[in-house]
Amino acid sequence: MIYKTLVFDFDGTIADTLGETRLIFNRIAPDYGIREVAAEELDQLRHLSLKELLAHLHIPKRRVPALIARGTGMMRGNITQLQLIDGMSEVLIELRRHVRSFGILTSNATANVDLFLKTHGLREQFDFVSSTSKLTGKAKHLKAICKTFSLRPAELLYIGDELRDVKASQKAGIPIAAVTWGFNSRESLAASHPNYLFDKPIDFLRLLAEH
């Protein structure tokens, strides 16, 4: 593989957290004067960028850190009941054999990710789990990971399910693989021009043919 390090987003990429996230959001939304999100709305929301999503739901940007902190804290109580994306476990184990290091960069809490990975027998596959409390702060963290592991940007691949993941990688000058089974729609992700667009976990194995 041409990449020495693979770094994954967590929610929607490795873990199927979309339904749980909506339920938690709807429980706390009234406390912040924010309306709830109906299940039938999700298809529409999947086409929106982060900025468009916050505007659509009338969420002030200043409220976002508090929402994330409270939401991830609430998720901890049910994290062991959440499911892996189907087929992800086998693919992660195979990919890990071909790279120098494996990591996670997420807006979720590291404690949640650690507990989830241990529950599914995958924690030992990952060298690090890093968290950012800012929805738009991943570019800086990706650059820091390159520095920590003495990587050129082209040697690291970030993998995520949202438009903001694509934007962060492109801002950092790092290749990005967008997955279509998470939050943002295939159409919106394709329009953002990621380096790769994967429709199912087994598609990752195409990376092994690149040299």
Assess if CATH 3.40.50.1000 describes domain 5-16+83-209: yes
Residue ranges in the chain assigned as alpha helix (H): 18-28, 42-45, 50-56, 64-75, 88-96, 110-119, 138-148, 163-172, 186-191
Give the residue extent of every domain in the chain: 5-16+83-209, 18-80
158-205 confidence digits (pLDDT tens): 999 999 999 999 999 999 999 999 999 999 999 999 999 999 999 999
47-76 confidence digits (pLDDT tens): 999 889 999 998 988 888 888 889 999 999
Give the global pTM: 0.93
41-51 confidence digits (pLDDT tens): 999 999 999 88
